[in-house]
């Protein structure tokens, strides 16, 4: 194991699981109900890491603090709850990675901006709830990423100091949160990434092109 690192924390959407099909499907269902054409999946997928905010910005052109955004967001959440397990799957390579961490008795947790209303049933349905040492949602602390509070809470629950944790995520906010928490940070280049800066500009300790690369970084491969 890499010296000084004793635990691994992961983002959820775009890092461990591919939830973009159901997020995109939710907003396209909303468009169809209004008699409007669907947005191509390829245009929506990069923004899946931002959840409702990303989907609604692309499909409806609205964003906070516009009043219309909050009405659409509530509708999005209610509909997403009915279909969030329809097409969402773990990344196969990420599952293999978790298997290896378990075999080496490396504790790992999940820190996501997804509200626990969605994160808990999703993690349970995918069979990860009995394996992860902590699940921190967007409403588990008073702040969401890029604030460090969720990551610090995860470290507390794992009983590992923040400096002994590494955080893996596919968004610039993940790197900002991890760095603010005093953790090592790794950018998951297989994720959604958004349409902003490229991962190598995020200031991460390393950019991982595939989940297996984490094992190499941890000196477990």
What angle is formed at CA 155 by the lines to CA 152 and CA 157, rounded to 5 degrees?
110
**Which one of 11, 13, 22, 171 is the catalytic residue?**
11
Residue appearing with tokens 């890499």: 2
Catalytic-residue membership of 13: no
Burial of 37 (0-12, 13-18, 19+ CB in 10 A): exposed
Residue among 202, 204, 196, 138 nearest 167 (CA) = 204
Torsion of CA 125, 127, 128, 130, to 10 degrees: 110
Catalytically annotated residues = 11
């Amino acid at each position: 194991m890499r010296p000084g690192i004793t635990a691994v924390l992961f983002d959820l959407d775009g890092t461990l699981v591919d939830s973009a099909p159901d997020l995109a499907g939710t907003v396209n269902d909303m468009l169809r109900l209004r008699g409007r054409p669907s947005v191509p999946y390829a245009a929506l997928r990069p923004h899946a890491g931002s959840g409702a905010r990303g989907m609604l910005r692309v499909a409806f052109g609205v964003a906070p603090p516009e009043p219309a955004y909050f009405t659409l967001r509530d509708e999005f959440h209610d509909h997403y709850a009915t279909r969030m397990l329809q097409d969402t799957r773990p990344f196969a390579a990420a599952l293999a990675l978790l298997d290896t961490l378990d075999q080496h008795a490396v504790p790992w947790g999940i820190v996501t901006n997804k509200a626990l209303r969605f994160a808990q049933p999703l993690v349970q349905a995918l069979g990860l709830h009995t394996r992860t040492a902590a699940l921190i949602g967007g409403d588990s602390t008073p702040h969401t990423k890029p604030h460090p509070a969720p990551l610090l809470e995860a470290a507390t629950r794992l009983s590992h100091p923040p400096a002994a944790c590494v955080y893996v995520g596919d968004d610039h906010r993940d790197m900002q949160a991890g760095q603010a928490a005093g953790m090592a940070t790794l950018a998951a280049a297989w994720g959604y990434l958004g349409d902003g800066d490229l991962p190598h500009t995020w200031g991460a300790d390393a950019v991982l092109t595939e989940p297996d690369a984490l094992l190499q970084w941890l000196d477990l491969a």
